[in-house]
Structure 1
Amino acid sequence: MIAKSLAYEADGLAMRGEFFAADGQAGPVPGVLVFPEAFGLGDHAISRAKRLAEMGYAALACDLHGQQRRYSDIGEVMGLLGPLLAAPERIRARASAALATLTAQDGVDGDRIAAIGFCLGGTMALELARAGSGIRAAVGFHSGLSTASPQDAINITGKVLVCIGADDPAIPAEQRAAFEDEMRQGKVDWQMHLYGDVVHSFTDPEADSRGNIEAFRYDADADARSWNAMTLLFDEAFR
């Protein structure tokens, strides 16, 4: 497997992502951006990028805070998120720079790109689609669905899939309903999958260690089901 770090600049930050692709593939292959949870780029997103490479895609696990900074304190993370969520252009700038970095790599088909993300990373994938980037698919796993610019859904040209825990306290029913309205107004090809008795961070095996299983809890079934749903969407989007 090809594995290398890639440096790029975005939103005034020095970013460093991790790129993975299979050796010896014939012809350009679809690329996938992998945006991490709000805590920053770590093993979870990197392992998903490697898994995508094993499936035949070229994948870039993207930096979030610059220099691959990671945070463990939820309060500190929430303080960082507020200004970002209030200014979607900053989220889009970080995501767009990652997109340009991925498409610049040899062997990547720049016309067949998807973006996936976890938690804030899912929000980044959605904002990249709202920015009119032309990506074929955007997939959010336990991702925030709200945006300061819902009118920009009209710019989405690819398919959208969001996979949400039905009992996620961070993504209440009201937020889901607003997202549905946004997608309808934008005439987007969209899907929302809900998983019963599932909360936030259900794809992250380390979620339980955060000490609040009512809010953060891994769920193996929802993890597998959501990944399979993404795979089927990719089959459609990259056909």
Structure 2
Amino acid sequence: MKAKITVHIYAKTSKVNKNGQLPIYFRLTVNGERFEFSTKKFIEKSKWSSEQSKMKGNSDEARSLNNYLDLIKSKVFDIQMELLHKNEELSIENFKSRLTGTHERERMIIPIYQSHNDKIKDLIGNGYAYGTLERFKISLKHLQEFILWKYNVSDISINKIDYAFVTEFEFYLRSIKKCNNNTAVKYVRNFRKIIKICLDNDGWIKTQLLDMKAK
């Protein structure tokens, strides 16, 4: 379903400041859900065009304010493109977190997995064997191919990984890659080790739906 997104900029008449100016507010509506916030800008009522949602005239002050408001609208469009590119939901919460700057830096699974493998490589001969590194490298390759096959993207946020993801990955190994039972279990166990690293790092992953105990 295509999301219906509208933006509205207006001068809030119910919040006149001590100088008689009106605060300019920005309202975003996504599928009927609203989020509004102050732009931290104020204007005299006579200078505001309600029809055009901008300051009247072509003065330096008007151009500066209107350009600022256009930048906010452009940011909404940029967020929309980002969410579409990442196959994320066009929800009011996703827009809100990015507009307010509360959106945490997204951690993706492939760089975390690669970092783990790089550490094993540095420890070969000091607790790890070359064969162990090779198994993790193959497991990572299978995971990358699975994500592309299943989601048509090159990587995925760790917060999108749940029990269903793991079971689908195991199904992929058995059906598409034709791995036997023991091999499939080993690759899944390797992957669960990476997820455990994410779970052990507070704040990395928001859900602990996965049972990380080894089978």
Higher relative contact order (CA 8 A, sep 6+): 1
Question: What TM-score, normalized to structure 2?
Answer: 0.26
TM-score by length of structure 1 reads 0.24
* Higher Cα Rg, which structure: 2
Which is richer in strand?
1
Structure number with the higher helix fraction is 2
